[in-house]
Amino acid sequence: MEHGPDNAALWLYELGEYQLCELAGDGHAEHASMLCNDDARPPQDLWLLWTGEDEPRKTRIAELPACPAAINRGRTNAWHCILFAEHPAVHSWEISDPLGDLIKQQAKEEAYRRFDQPDQDPD
């Protein structure tokens, strides 16, 4: 992977303790979290996959082709599924993520707040 990490184990450690599963529901055998997306066409993204709820979990890192599904959003716009090919459950545009939406909203408000006050000392 051209833009992937040189040392996947070290990089994973630096990402921190928590990875959230990006798949919908809880009926899948293996959980998955995207580590790094790829600009290649067709994309091959880097995923962390794990099984089990208790420590130690069984984990693996895999480069997986992107899900080819997309839906049209008007004449020239499309939403592409951001999950990997043949993922379980529904496509990404059908998944609601209230925590992710809240974090994005707070980041946006923080960006607006800083942008509106460019002359202030950051300290």
Distance CA 32, CA 14 (A): 18
Check if the beta carbon of residue 1 is closer than 8 Å to that of residue 36.
yes
Check if the beta carbon of residue 37 is closer than 8 Å to that of residue 43.
yes
Residue 31 engages Zn ion in binding (rule: CB under 5 A): yes
Task: Work out how close the CB of 119 gets to Zn ion at its nearest, in angstroms, rounded to a whole number.
Answer: 46
Can you tell me which of 23, 24, 48, 64 binds Zn ion, judged by CB under 5 A?
A: 23
Residue ranges in 73-112 that form contacts with Zn ion under rule CB under 5 A: 81, 83, 91
Task: Identify any residues that bridge with 61 across adjacent strands, giving them in sequence order.
Answer: 48
User: Which residue's CB is nearer to Zn ion, number 53 or number 116?
Assistant: 53
Residue 48 engages Zn ion in binding (rule: CB under 5 A): no
Check if the beta carbon of residue 5 is closer than 8 Å to that of residue 36.
yes
Residue 21 engages Zn ion in binding (rule: CB under 5 A): yes
- Give the count of residues interacting with Zn ion (CB under 5 A): 8
Can you tell me which of 24, 46, 64, 67 binds Zn ion, judged by CB under 5 A?
A: 67
88-102: burial string, b at 16+ Cβ within 10 Å, e else:
eeebbeebeeeeeee
Helix (H, G, I), strand (E, B) or coil at 98: helix
Task: Work out how close the CB of 80 gets to Zn ion at its nearest, in angstroms, rounded to a whole number.
Answer: 8
Can you tell me which of 12, 69, 80, 95 binds Zn ion, judged by CB under 5 A?
A: 69
Which residues of this chain interact with Zn ion, rule CB under 5 A?
21, 23, 31, 67, 69, 81, 83, 91
